[in-house]
Amino acid sequence: MPSIINNFDKLASHGNTRGRKIILDILEAGLQASDPYDNVRKLINLKGKKLMIGCEEIVGSTSDDKPIKKPLVFDLSKIGKIYVIGGGKAAQRQAKALEDILGDLITEGYINAKKGEPKQLRRIKVTFGGHPLPDEDCVRGSKRILTILKKAKKGDLVFFSESGGSSALMTLPGPGLTLEDVKDVTRMLYFEMGASMWETNTVRWNLVILRGREKRYVGEATLIVLGVFERPPGIKVNVRPTQGHGSYVEAKNILKKYGLWERVSQSVRDYLDKANPKYATLSLEELRKKRHYHFRVISPEYMLQAAEKKAKELGINATIVASSLSDIGAKEVGETFAYMAQEVENYGRPLKPPCVLICGGELIVKVGDKKGLGGRNQEFVLSAATRIAESKNIVVASIDSDGTDGPTDAAGAIADGYTLGKASKMGLDIFNELDNHNSYYVLKKLEDLLFTGARGTNVQDLRAVYIGSRTKITYSALPEYLQTLISTKNPV
């Protein structure tokens, strides 16, 4: 199988070559396990005129959050039309699996995917839109998705392929709002103020009429949601009581929290103040009346566990430190992991080397008014590099499972104890570039960027820190004068 990391060999050719090879092998294994295609094929089976949806290893639930304990069975002779819609970085891969299973049984379909991805679908149409900031193509594709949703009638089957990235890619501004309104809110919250993705989505979901409201428009048709989740089960992201994504009040509170209520456009303030229930998400009571089914097709634990398994196959102690460490500054987390690595290197705790610390989640970079180029994975790695300087045992790497880190063509980066010294010899000031959030510039010069291209999945990031064993020095290998001192009973 070809390497997912396109420049694998080049990355492993300098610095701590042994450690780099090990950590890249671990990343490769994790990335291989993050593709949702195979799980959709396991979940959905066509047997004659029977369409079976469900399997033991993939969790499913009904619209009122009850577990699906046995496969759903649909008699195709009684099904009207089959539609496929969706959006997100993994939407195409799931839709591709549906195409391969259902073929010409699909009546019509439309997917919004991220620009830069190759087109994978034949029967289902695709619009490639902007991400993380939406563009006119997102709006155009979303209108077509909405048209298909409104066609669905009782007896029809609608598959919704959703994943991270859909909040931007399925942008369809509410009445009286413009695309620029949504873009400005996203830019101010997420990039300038460093708000969490959950907070950012809570606001922008209340400014659009499609994303988060698919269930409203599907009418009496049966909806099957195939989800690529960005967080493992049980991980909480909201750190204070909220009223949920569908609450206009909560959106206003978040904008006020970051001092943005008076900075956003008047049209945004008017829209949230009006709080039109026609464009809100469905209430729990409304949802209970719907024939909706949700399946967690894949999520970060697949990637993290595969990385951990690979490390152990290589004879390396491994632990998943946190499955979803998110919404914390990339620079600070990079430095923290560097300190943890030094603890392992020097004291053998909490693991004895050789070992690897594995972590998932999405960090943040609060850019403010800085104009540098980079991404959260690149900033994490470069920050760690400043703390592990001169170590002959530590290697750190971080990669975005979707293949693009921030507004760059790189997926992530790698560094070791030689990185800071190499940068200094090249006249690169890592500390200054970090202050300007310009990690891409430095890492490109060092040839330490990881490249995969857009991958068609999104289960957040994979971070790994490898700590090798210290080299043991034998007595015979010591210089003669040191051997003399050691053999003397009272060396001076």
CA pair distance 83, 300, nearest whole angstrom: 28
Can you give the length of the chain in residues?
492
Contact between 87 and 170 (Cβ < 8 Å): yes
CA pair distance 57, 54, nearest whole angstrom: 9
Contact between 353 and 393 (Cβ < 8 Å): yes
CA pair distance 321, 396, nearest whole angstrom: 14
Among 224-233, 366-375, 377-386, the range of highest mean pLDDT: 377-386
Residue 199 region, left (φ>0) first, then alpha (ψ -120 to 50), else beta? alpha
Token couple for 316: 């390396």
Q: What is the per-residue pLDDT for 243?
A: 47
Q: Residue 61 burial by CB count (10 A; 0-12/13-18/19+): exposed, middle or buried?
A: middle
For residues 219-244, average pLDDT = 78
> What is the pairing mode between strands 394-400 and 461-467?
antiparallel
Residue pLDDT, tens place only, 183-199: 999 999 999 998 988 89
Token couple for 63: 């619209």
> What is the pairing mode between strands 108-114 and 82-87?
parallel
Instruction: Please choose, from the candidates 188, 206, 291, the residue with its C-alpha nearest in 3D space to the C-alpha of residue 243.
Output: 206
CA pair distance 201, 288, nearest whole angstrom: 24
Which residue bears the tokens 């019509």? 108
**Domains of the chain as residue ranges with CATH:** 8-33+300-468 (3.40.1480.10), 37-172+208-228+231-239+281-298 (3.40.50.10180), 179-203+247-278 (no CATH)
CA pair distance 94, 102, nearest whole angstrom: 12
Residue 199 CA to chain centroid, in angstroms? 16
pLDDT of 473 higher than 50 = no
Q: Residue 488 burial by CB count (10 A; 0-12/13-18/19+): exposed, middle or buried?
A: exposed
Q: What is the per-residue pLDDT for 485?
A: 45
Greater pLDDT, 435 or 243: 435
Instruction: Please choose, from the candidates 250, 138, 236, the residue with its C-alpha nearest in 3D space to the C-alpha of residue 205.
Output: 250
pLDDT of 488 higher than 90 = no
pLDDT of 490 higher than 70 = no
Region of poorest pLDDT, from 66-75, 285-294, 319-328, 336-345: 285-294
Token couple for 281: 């998400």
For residues 138-163, average pLDDT = 97
pLDDT band at 237 (very low <50, low <70, confident <90, very high): low
For residues 55-73, average pLDDT = 91
CA pair distance 202, 150, nearest whole angstrom: 25
CA pair distance 164, 184, nearest whole angstrom: 20
CA distances from 67 to 7, 57, 220 (A): 43, 13, 21
Instruction: Please choose, from the candidates 127, 33, 90, 133, the residue with its C-alpha nearest in 3D space to the C-alpha of residue 406.
Output: 133
Residue pLDDT, tens place only, 303-353: 999 999 999 999 999 999 999 999 999 999 999 999 999 999 999 999 999
Whole-model pTM?
0.89
CA pair distance 126, 290, nearest whole angstrom: 28
For residues 71-85, average pLDDT = 96
Contact between 423 and 430 (Cβ < 8 Å): yes
Contact between 440 and 367 (Cβ < 8 Å): no
Q: What is the per-residue pLDDT for 80?
A: 96
For residues 125-136, average pLDDT = 96
